[in-house]
Amino acid sequence: MAKKKNSRKALAVVLGIMGVAGLSVASASNLDITSTRNVAAGSTPILAACDDAVNVTYTLDAAAKNYTAIVVSGISATCDTRTMQYALNDNATPTAAALASGSVTLDGSGTRTITFAAPMPIATTTFGSIDISIF
């Protein structure tokens, strides 16, 4: 029995030494955080003149019973050459699914027609909301 107790003691001592050595190596490491790069967070206001009072209508192909496009009008001419991002949502599910989304460049006319890649059938399409931002 004495041999088993001695080997257990020796194993415990070796594991203790390894644990202390491991802690000293881990605590001796450095983390250098000097950098010439800046990190910033924040927000930029969207131009109110571009986002005020826009109107959205849908283009309908009555014969085929499909929605084919949306028309955003009432866009300020000062928004010429800016980008308009849009997401047309169905809101039928707890997390709104985008039926169509993308971005277009505005041309100063005050109106932008966005044609859908594929027509959306009236019977199965439920429009919920449209998110528009101009920047």
Higher pLDDT, 106 or 46: 106
- Name all contacts of 41-45 with Cβ < 8 Å and 24+ positions apart: 44/135
Mean pLDDT of the residues in the chain: 74
Is the Cβ–Cβ distance between 64 and 119 less than 8 Å?
yes
Q: Convert the pLDDT of each residue in 56-112 to its tens digit.
A: 888 888 898 888 888 988 888 888 888 888 888 876 666 666 788 888 888 888 889
Q: Domain of residue 58: give its range.
A: 50-134
What pLDDT, on the 0 to 100 scale, is given for residue 7? 72
Residue 40 has pLDDT above 50, yes or no: no
The domain that holds 101 is classified in CATH as 2.60.40
Place of tokens 């014969």: 63
Query: Is residue 59 assigned to a domain?
Result: yes
pLDDT at 3 over 70: no
**pTM of the model as a whole:** 0.57
Residue 54 is assigned to a structural domain of this protein: yes
Residue 70 lies in a domain: yes
Residue 123 counted as domain residue: yes
Establish if 35 belongs to a structural domain.
no
Res 117 pLDDT > 80: yes
Q: Is residue 117 part of a domain?
A: yes
Neighbours of 24 (CB within 10 A): 9
Q: What is the number of domains present in the chain? A: 1
The DSSP H or E segment spanning 129 is strand 129-134
